[in-house]
Chain A
Amino acid sequence: MRALSLAVRMLAREWRSGELGVLLLALTIAVASLTGVGFLVSRIGAAVDLQATEVLAADVRLGSPQPISQASLDEAARRGVLAARSTRLLSVVFHDDQSQLTNIHAVSAGYPLRGHVLIGSEPFAKGAAAAGIPPRGEVWPDSRLLAATGARIGSSLAIGAATFRVGQVLISLPDQGGTFAELAPSLLMNLEDLPTTQLVQPGSRVSYSVLFAGDRARVDEFKSWLLLNKKPAERLRDIRDASPQIKSATERAGRFLNLASLVSVLLCAIAVAMSAHRYVHRRLDVVALMKTLGATSAFTLSVSLLQLIAIAFVAAVAGSGVGFLAQEWLLRALKGLINTQLPPANLLPLGLGFIAAIALLVGFALPSLLQLARVPTIRVLRRDVGPPPTLVLLAFGPAVAVIALLIYWVVRDVKLFLEFTLGLAAFIALVAGAGWLLVHLAGRLRGSVGVAWRYGVANLSRRRAASVLQIVAFGTGIMVLLMLGIVRNHVQDSWRHSLPEDLPNYFFVNIPPDERAPFIEFLQARGAQTSRVLPMIRGRLTAINDRPVEGAQSAGDGENFAAREQNLTWTADLGADNSIVAGRWWTREDFGKPLVSLATEFQESLHVRVGDRLTFDIGGESVAATVASIRKVKWDSFQPNFFIEFAPGVIDNTAGTYMTSAYFRPAGANALAQLARRFPSVSIFDIDDLLARVRSVVDKAVFAVQSVFVFTVFAGLTVLLAAVQSSRDERRFESAMLRTLGASRKVVLQGVLAEFTVLGLLSGLLASVGASIAGYFVATQVLGLPYGFDSSVWALGLIGGAVLVVFSGWLATRSVVNQPPLATLRANG
């Protein structure tokens, strides 16, 4: 209790004297960086789960070709689980003399339980979330249906035996399904109106669903009940079955961001160690005095430990606060990347922030603090007596252990841990080596400049270890920011510019075979440049070399490829954007033989080779074919291309549709509506729009990563502050000496500024070189894009580095320079 009260009192005073400021700042930034990313990752992870539920429009969905009894709805109500019905059927919708086969979605109040129905006041608008479902007597047809029938808001549509008023334009449904499978346009209506249409007759093809959602625990219990009580024909779908690949991508991205935040943590840890060392050095006298006055070692140690815990607590609270705000701000800036309502953050990262703060202090400050307890009492009389030196293992062991644990905690995989740790060590060694070389070279230049510069540069060389540390700390932060900038610019500009102007900008899918010729004629008549037209048939890979794919060895996406329905095609000609990398393309003599050609992506993920036998299920029929060739496909030609292409004469008679792409600049906004009206079953995809979306996603992802590395720059700043602080007494004395020898305050200040300018320039130089090399590697090796020299990277690195370091260095040292020399010399005399 005595120790606690003394610890708190001394801490409060010492905090005011600024001694602990850097320590606390470094710790706060480390915690902010960790928790900020923690909040971000957990919220995005939860959002991805939520997004998956939106695909179902529910948490759990029960589907059946037969009407679903009321029993499950009653049970859901009893358990506090929300429920809604959705019934779908295909029917022809009439407006005046126009008719269109339409997917009719009849839903009950409460639909959708997850996600939103988007509606607009005119076709092809962006749309806004609807507040409910269509009122009775009203329907919401989608843009394609309106274009096909010529109806507008207010028009009457006849469905079966009933007539409805068009109330809104349906823009999208959450459970519409994103694939090309939806052939017909959609219409949303109130389930209570369905009987009046008299469409549901014995034998009609109707698909019935009941949607359930609610508190996760209740839904889980209810799901167990459903599994026991549902009829055999009823199919249960859960979010946990939905989009596993999105989940694994999110997990990987989360791990990457966490590792990125660890770079900041590592730098902050260095600052923590430096300022703890300084703090301990400053406290040696006080502890010796306390021991003289009768304090035991245990007491002084507990005072130090309590102070440590108090600092960790303050840093954890402040850091988590900053982390939370940063994450909140970032998510606002990223709006649109995540197309869903973000769930609130959970509080787990707060606990982790506190643990991380304690861990960093234990690893990086405790070894120094333990020294305090060992200070000999005699120091009160003889200031040259310090504590005995610590063992190297004791000084660095905890630090290495803490960093290793943090890294392992993030990656949770031994192989990845070793890779990252070794990579990090190599990177640090490389950057530190480069930093050392730069400081060494700068030192050799000092003869040729004025007195202030000479003084400044001489300081850099004299405190070489500290200088290298600061250059590495700052250089790393700036380097990563610059490199990400290079990568983003390349993805945005180089790629776009490397593509020809008249590349197809529209994909057209689901062209019925009998409309193929008129459709192409229609496009060409309106000035479109059409590409090849390929048949599109749905099928699923069932066996490789007669072994069912479920049992086949496959890694990564392989299982998804196998599990998914694929789009298959057949063609005689190898596209100009395809090149054969193995086997050979078929000739006229091969037509009719069961041969198949695979794209490299498909072949690699399934580990199949030329000569292997693949079996497909196409429309319930089993089709086997031998792999004749492997193709490398240039996907960014935007021509119709398929992973799996059959030789002509194998699957030609299977029912399917056609697809093509075209370069098309429609004259007037109406041209697309005309197209949709003339060919209602054709789905239109605007590539420009898709590309813009891809670009915006890349942009935002890079921005997110850059934001994480802004913490790294701040961490670099704390290293600079800690370094300046640890040299403060020395600087104060030097400054006083120089001024006593006749240097004006201005000259001393110029010297200090010169030192930081060189430090900043060297950091910037290191950052620019590193970023350019890394950027070159990423652009040419990873993205496969030509790398263009970017002078702005160098300008930004050098100027940015210099400005940042000079400004912070000046802030940190100005009080030293301003101090009257006499006071300093007296204090040191």
Chain B
Amino acid sequence: MDIAAGESVAVVGPSGAGKSTLLALLAGLDAPTSGKIWLAGTDLSALDEDGRARLRAQRVGFVFQAFHLVPALTALENVMLPLELAGRADARSGALAALERVGLAKRKGHYPRQLSGGEQQRIALARAFVTAPAVLFADEPTGNLDTSTGERVGALLFELNAHSQTTLVLVTHERDLASRCQRTLQMEAGRLL
């Protein structure tokens, strides 16, 4: 399987088909028992866990179904986190600009528990795009949101993606969301169809 730079790919299939496992392998969150994966030109199997982490810091963004914001940090600090981990000096200004793009600059001082689900996922989008990653992995980004909020967040995701020319790998149940991708991969019982 190859995914070209700048391409957007949706991975669909029933629950338990192995969509999230595939995502985890592609992103280097887990190591395959057999086979090889190249991410942004690097052989993941040649790297140890810390090596894969460094690669992610430079090239990869994530959006999760459960948002995964750090409860102890404010919206701004959450967005700053990947920039800080990558050692960037402009973490604060970069994060502020990213918050501006998702329309939540005014809520920068709020903690995740003070934000609605839709707002939390928008913060998560800002965090994912703030490093201008080469690849963005999104795992059911609208799965925890009601329909209309989900639609708005989905729209924002594609807008940001188009703007930054990021390669997108999207795992989703939502047909609408999948149909916006250039390619759809169907999975069932651990296999690509």
User: Once the chains are docked, how many angstroms separate the CA of A291 from the CA of B72?
Assistant: 17
Interface SS, A side: helix
Q: Mark B47-73, 1 if CB is under 8 A from A, else 0.
A: 001101111111010101000101111
Minimum C-beta distance from B57 to chain A (A): 2
Q: Is there a chain A Cβ closer than 8 Å to B84's Cβ?
A: yes
A374: nearest chain-B partner, CB-CB: B49
B70: nearest chain-A partner, CB-CB: A286
B50, B54, B64: residue with the most chain A Cβ atoms closer than 10 Å: B50
User: Once the chains are docked, how many angstroms separate the CA of A656 from the CA of B55?
Assistant: 98
User: Once the chains are docked, how many angstroms separate the CA of A291 from the CA of B62?
Assistant: 12
User: Once the chains are docked, how many angstroms separate the CA of A10 from the CA of B70?
Assistant: 9
Contacts A13-B72, A290-B85, A297-B50 given; indicate if A380 touches B56 (C-beta within 8 A).
Answer: no
Contacts A292-B62, A294-B56, A295-B53 given; indicate if A10 touches B85 (C-beta within 8 A).
Answer: no
Which residues of chain A have C-beta atoms less than 8 A from B188's C-beta? none
Assess whether B29 is in contact with A296, with CB atoms less than 8 Å apart. no
Which residues of chain A have C-beta atoms less than 8 A from B86's C-beta? 294
Q: Is there a chain B Cβ closer than 8 Å to A100's Cβ?
A: no
Q: Is there a chain A Cβ closer than 8 Å to B139's Cβ?
A: yes
Minimum C-beta distance from B88 to chain A (A): 10
Assess whether A295 is in contact with B139, with CB atoms less than 8 Å apart. no
Partner of A380, one of B68, B77, B111: B68
Assess whether B23 is in contact with A381, with CB atoms less than 8 Å apart. yes
Q: Is there a chain B Cβ closer than 8 Å to A670's Cβ?
A: no
Contacts A285-B68, A377-B29 given; indicate if A297 touches B49 (C-beta within 8 A).
Answer: yes
Minimum C-beta distance from B132 to chain A (A): 14
B59: nearest chain-A partner, CB-CB: A294
User: Once the chains are docked, how many angstroms separate the CA of A651 from the CA of B49?
Assistant: 93
Minimum C-beta distance from A285 to chain B (A): 7
User: Once the chains are docked, how many angstroms separate the CA of A285 from the CA of B72?
Assistant: 12
Q: Mark B82-109, 1 if CB is under 8 A from A, else 0.
A: 1011110000000000000000000000
User: Once the chains are docked, how many angstroms separate the CA of A298 from the CA of B50?
Assistant: 8
Assess whether B62 is in contact with A2, with CB atoms less than 8 Å apart. no
A12: nearest chain-B partner, CB-CB: B72
Give the contacts of A340-399 with B (CB-CB under 8 A): 376-378, 380-382
Which residues of chain B have C-beta atoms less than 8 A from A252's C-beta? none
Which residues of chain A have C-beta atoms less than 8 A from B127's C-beta? 293
Give the contacts of B18-62 with A (CB-CB under 8 A): 20, 23-24, 27, 29-30, 49-50, 52-58, 60, 62
Assess whether B62 is in contact with A17, with CB atoms less than 8 Å apart. no
User: Once the chains are docked, how many angstroms separate the CA of A289 from the CA of B57?
Assistant: 12
Assess whether B72 is in contact with A299, with CB atoms less than 8 Å apart. no
User: Once the chains are docked, how many angstroms separate the CA of A380 from the CA of B30?
Assistant: 11
A10, A285, A376, A378: residue with the most chain B Cβ atoms closer than 10 Å: A378
Minimum C-beta distance from B128 to chain A (A): 9
Q: Is there a chain A Cβ closer than 8 Å to B160's Cβ?
A: no
Q: Is there a chain B Cβ closer than 8 Å to A130's Cβ?
A: no
Contacts A289-B68, A292-B62, A294-B57 given; indicate if A380 touches B85 (C-beta within 8 A).
Answer: no
Q: Is there a chain B Cβ closer than 8 Å to A14's Cβ?
A: yes
Q: Is there a chain B Cβ closer than 8 Å to A6's Cβ?
A: yes
Which residues of chain A have C-beta atoms less than 8 A from B49's C-beta? 291, 297, 377
Q: Mark A1-36, 1 if CB is under 8 A from B, else 0.
A: 010011001100110010000000000000000000
Q: Is there a chain A Cβ closer than 8 Å to B187's Cβ?
A: no
Partner of A294, one of B23, B54, B71: B54
Contacts A380-B62, A381-B23, A381-B24 given; indicate if A2 touches B70 (C-beta within 8 A).
Answer: no
A17: nearest chain-B partner, CB-CB: B72
Partner of A13, one of B23, B53, B56, B73: B73
Which residues of chain A have C-beta atoms less than 8 A from B57's C-beta? 293-295
Assess whether A296 is in contact with B50, with CB atoms less than 8 Å apart. yes
Assess whether A293 is in contact with B56, with CB atoms less than 8 Å apart. yes
Q: Is there a chain A Cβ closer than 8 Å to B192's Cβ?
A: no
Assess whether B70 is in contact with A381, with CB atoms less than 8 Å apart. no
Assess whether A291 is in contact with B53, with CB atoms less than 8 Å apart. yes
Assess whether B73 is in contact with A296, with CB atoms less than 8 Å apart. no
Assess whether A293 is in contact with B24, with CB atoms less than 8 Å apart. no
Assess whether B85 is in contact with A294, with CB atoms less than 8 Å apart. yes
Which residues of chain B have C-beta atoms less than 8 A from A299's C-beta? 85
User: Once the chains are docked, how many angstroms separate the CA of A294 from the CA of B77?
Assistant: 16
Assess whether B53 is in contact with A381, with CB atoms less than 8 Å apart. no
B60: nearest chain-A partner, CB-CB: A294
Assess whether A10 is in contact with B72, with CB atoms less than 8 Å apart. yes
User: Once the chains are docked, how many angstroms separate the CA of A124 from the CA of B20?
Assistant: 93
Q: Is there a chain A Cβ closer than 8 Å to B17's Cβ?
A: no
Minimum C-beta distance from A375 to chain B (A): 11
B50: nearest chain-A partner, CB-CB: A296
Minimum C-beta distance from A822 to chain B (A): 15
Q: Is there a chain A Cβ closer than 8 Å to B81's Cβ?
A: yes
Minimum C-beta distance from B116 to chain A (A): 14
User: Once the chains are docked, how many angstroms separate the CA of A285 from the CA of B55?
Assistant: 20
A282: nearest chain-B partner, CB-CB: B71
Assess whether A2 is in contact with B87, with CB atoms less than 8 Å apart. yes
Partner of A292, one of B20, B29, B58, B77: B29
User: Once the chains are docked, how many angstroms separate the CA of A5 from the CA of B24?
Assistant: 30
Which residues of chain A have C-beta atoms less than 8 A from B70's C-beta? 10, 286, 289-290
User: Once the chains are docked, how many angstroms separate the CA of A9 from the CA of B86?
Assistant: 18
Contacts A293-B82, A293-B85 given; indicate if A381 touches B77 (C-beta within 8 A).
Answer: no
Which residues of chain B have C-beta atoms less than 8 A from A14's C-beta? 72
Which residues of chain B have C-beta atoms less than 8 A from A10's C-beta? 70, 72-73
User: Once the chains are docked, how many angstroms separate the CA of A293 from the CA of B124?
Assistant: 12
Give the contacts of A294-340 with B (CB-CB under 8 A): 294-299
Minimum C-beta distance from A160 to chain B (A): 87
Assess whether B54 is in contact with A293, with CB atoms less than 8 Å apart. no
Which residues of chain A have C-beta atoms less than 8 A from B23's C-beta? 381
Minimum C-beta distance from A300 to chain B (A): 9
A292, A295, A297: residue with the most chain B Cβ atoms closer than 10 Å: A292
Which residues of chain A have C-beta atoms less than 8 A from B73's C-beta? 9-10, 13
User: Once the chains are docked, how many angstroms separate the CA of A381 from the CA of B63?
Assistant: 11
Contacts A2-B87, A294-B54, A294-B58 given; indicate if A381 touches B72 (C-beta within 8 A).
Answer: no
User: Once the chains are docked, how many angstroms separate the CA of A622 from the CA of B60?
Assistant: 100
Minimum C-beta distance from A297 to chain B (A): 6
A286, A289, A293, A382: residue with the most chain B Cβ atoms closer than 10 Å: A293
User: Once the chains are docked, how many angstroms separate the CA of A2 from the CA of B83?
Assistant: 11
Assess whether B72 is in contact with A290, with CB atoms less than 8 Å apart. no
Assess whether B84 is in contact with A292, with CB atoms less than 8 Å apart. no
User: Once the chains are docked, how many angstroms separate the CA of A289 from the CA of B27?
Assistant: 13
Assess whether A9 is in contact with B139, with CB atoms less than 8 Å apart. no
Which residues of chain B have C-beta atoms less than 8 A from A295's C-beta? 53, 57, 85
Assess whether B29 is in contact with A378, with CB atoms less than 8 Å apart. yes
Partner of B20, one of A6, A17, A376, A381: A381
- What are some 28 contacts across the A-B interface (CB < 8 A)? A6-B84, A9-B77, A10-B72, A13-B73, A17-B72, A285-B68, A286-B70, A286-B71, A289-B68, A289-B70, A293-B82, A293-B127, A294-B53, A294-B58, A294-B82, A295-B53, A295-B57, A296-B50, A296-B54, A377-B52, A378-B24, A378-B29, A380-B68, A381-B20, A381-B24, A381-B29, A381-B139, A382-B20
What are the 9 closest A-B residue pairs judged by CB atoms, nearest first?
A294-B57, A13-B72, A296-B50, A377-B29, A294-B56, A293-B82, A378-B30, A294-B85, A14-B72
19 extra interface residue pairs, beta carbon distance < 8 Å, beyond A6-B84, A9-B72, A294-B82: A2-B84, A10-B70, A13-B72, A13-B111, A289-B70, A290-B70, A292-B62, A293-B56, A293-B62, A293-B82, A293-B85, A294-B53, A294-B54, A296-B54, A297-B50, A298-B50, A377-B52, A377-B53, A380-B64
Chain B interface residues toward A at CB < 8 A:
20, 23-24, 27, 29-30, 49-50, 52-58, 60, 62, 64, 68, 70-73, 77, 81-82, 84-87, 111, 127, 139
